[in-house]
Amino acid sequence: MVNSVSILGCTGSIGRQTIAVAEHIGMKVAALTAQRKIDLLEEQARRLKPEFVAVYDEKAAKLFKIAVADTDIKVGSGMEGLIEAATMDGTDCVVTAVSGSVGLKPTLAAIDAKKRIALANKETLVCAGEIVMKRSKETGAEIVPVDSEHSAIFQCLMGRKEGELKKILLTGSGGPFRGKARAELEDVTPEIAVKHPNWSMGAKISVDSATMMNKGLEFVEAMHLFGVTPDDIQVVIHPQSIIHSMVELIDGTVIAQMGVPDMGLPIQLALTYPERKPSMFERMDFWNMKDMTFEAPDYEKTPCLKLAMDAARTGGTAACIMSAANEVAVHAFLAHKLGYNRIYDAAAGAIDAVGVTQHPDLDTIIAADEAARHYVRETYKV
Ligand code: MG
C-alpha cells in the first residue's frame, strides 16, 4: 500500500472521486493538478493542504497563485508542473486522471521515478503502450488500472501464474444507443449522448461510451496492460454492468469480477493494493438484481469499436492517431460543431491520412498525435 498520492486531473470526475476515497481511507494528498477549473481547485487545495499544486493553463495558474498566496502551497504550471506533481519526493502514487494525450509525459516521468501509477488516463497505453509497459518493467514501477474493466481483469488475474490465462472477456454495457443503426443516430445531440444508463462519467468518456470508441480504446489498453494479442480479447456486451470483466483460464474456468457500478471501488483498490480496506460504497443486492444478459457486439452498428480493434491489430501509431482524432472530434461534437456520426469518419479518416509507423519512439508518437488532430481540425473546420 502507498502512503501519499498525487492526483493529476483532480477537478474531473475520477479526480473528485479519488479525493473522496483518499479522505475516506486517510491517505495523504501530496499534489493536485487541474487544467483550469481554479475555483474548485482552490476549494480542494484549502481542504487537503497538498504541498504542491499545478495548473496546466498558464493564465489560470497565475490567477490560482494569487488566490492561494496566503497559504504554503507551492504552485506550478504547464507540462512542467504536471511532471513535478508526478515525480516529486513526497508522493508514492500518481493517479493519472487527466483526459487526453496530455497524460502521456507525466505518466512516463512518474514511471521513471518509480511511482505507482493508478492509471485512469486511456491515452497513455493507447498511444504509447509498448514504451510504457517496457519502461515499467525496467524501473519496477507498478501500474494498477483504475478503469473498471481493467481493474476487474487485474483482480481476476491476482495470484494467477503466468500461462494460466486463455483469454480476456472485456465486458461493455453497449452504451445509451445499443442496437441503434448509424442512420438513426445522425441527429444525436451532445445532451442525449452524454446520458449513460449505468455509469456517471465525464462528458468526453460518456460520448466515447455512446460511440463504443471507449470499449475500443479499452481493448487496445487491455492488450498492452496484460501483454496479450488482439485474438486473446473478446468483447462481450453485458448491458447491466454488474460484471465488470472476466478472464477465461486454460482449463475453461471463467472468473468474473462484480460490483456496484461505482468508480470509487477500482480507485480505492488502486490506492490500497495489494491490501483491501473497508469502503464507503453501496453493496451488491442480489435479491433485487436485474437479470444478467450477454450478447455479441454488432460491429455494423458500432463502427468505432471495430475501428479500434483493427487499429490494435495494425499496431504502431494506428491507435494513437485514431484516439487523437477521436478526441478532437468528440470535443467538437460536444461544442455542437460536428455531427455525431462524423466522429467515426474523423477517426477512420485520420488513420488513412496520417499513415501508420511501426514501433514508434515517443517523438514519433507525439508527432502522429499532432498530425491526427491537425487532420480533423482542417478537414472538418473545427
Ligand atoms: Mg471502462
What spacing in Å lies between the alpha carbon of 61 and ligand 1's midpoint?
Answer: 31
Cell of 138: 525496467
Cα separation, 340 vs 333, whole angstroms: 6
Centre of ligand 1 from the C-alpha of residue 263, in Å: 9
Q: Where does the pLDDT of residue 35 fall: very low under 50, low under 70, confident under 90, or very high at 90 and above? A: very high
The answer on pLDDT for 230 being more than 90 is yes
The string of DSSP codes covering 129-162 is HHHHHHHHHHH---EEE-SHHHHHHHHHHTTPPT
Give me the pLDDT at residue 289, please: 87
Report the pLDDT value the prediction gives residue 334, as an integer from 0 to 100: 96
Of the pLDDT bands very low, low, confident and very high (cuts 50, 70, 90), residue 279 is very high
| Spatial separation of the C-alpha atoms in residues 212 and 296, rounded to whole Å | 13
Peptide bond into 274 cis (omega under 30): yes
Average pLDDT over residues 202-229: 95
82 with 102: CB under 8 angstroms? yes
Per DSSP, the three-state class of 22 is: helix
Give the pLDDT of residue 201.
76
Q: How confident is the model at residue 226 (pLDDT cuts 50, 70, 90)?
A: very high
302 CA distance to ligand 1 middle (Å): 16
Cα of 322 vs centre of ligand 1, distance in Å, is: 18
Between the CA of 218 and the centroid of ligand 1 the distance, in Å, is: 7
* Average model confidence (pLDDT) across the chain: 96
pLDDT value for 208: 95
Evaluate if residue 257 carries a pLDDT over 80.
yes
pLDDT at 202: 81
- Residue 194 has a CB neighbour count (10 Å cut-off) of 18
Query: Mind giving me the DSSP string for 329-357?
Result: HHHHHHTTSS-TTHHHHHHHHHHHHH---
Taking the centre of ligand 1 as the mean of its atom positions, its distance from the CA of residue 144, in whole angstroms, is 14
Contacts of 18 (CB under 8 A, 6+ apart): 5, 7, 10, 95, 97, 118, 267, 271
pLDDT digits (tens, 9 = 90+) for 131-151: 999 999 999 999 999 999 999
| Distance from residue 64's CA to the centre of ligand 1 (Å) | 32
Looking at residue 333, its pLDDT comes to 97
At CB < 8 A and 24+ separation, what contacts does 21-27 make? Answer: 21/264, 21/267, 21/268, 21/271, 21/279, 22/48, 22/271, 23/48, 24/268, 24/279, 24/280, 25/268, 25/271, 25/272, 25/277, 27/2, 27/3, 27/271
Number of H helices, E strands in the chain: 15, 11
- Give the span between the Cα atoms of 343 and 333, in whole angstroms: 8
| CB-based contact 247:156 (threshold 8 Å) | yes
Q: How far apart are CA 5 and CA 19, in angstroms?
A: 10
What pLDDT, on the 0 to 100 scale, is given for residue 250? 98
Enumerate residues 6+ apart whose C-beta is below 8 A from 118: 5, 18, 93, 94, 95, 96, 144, 146, 267, 270, 271
Is residue 270 pLDDT above 90, yes or no?
yes
pLDDT surpasses 90 at 290? no
Asked whether 50 and 69 are in contact (CB, 8 A), the reply is no
Distance 244 CA to ligand 1 centre (A): 8
> Which cell numbers in the block locate residue 232?
486473446
The count of other CB atoms within 10 Å of the CB of residue 363 is: 8
pLDDT band (50, 70, 90) for residue 196: confident
Ligand 1 midpoint to CA 39 (Å): 28
| Tens of pLDDT, residues 166-184 | 999 999 999 999 999 999 9
**Taking residues 307-329, what's their average pLDDT?**
97
For residue 344, how far is its CA from the centre of ligand 1 (angstroms)?
Answer: 19
Work out the average pLDDT over 350-358: 98
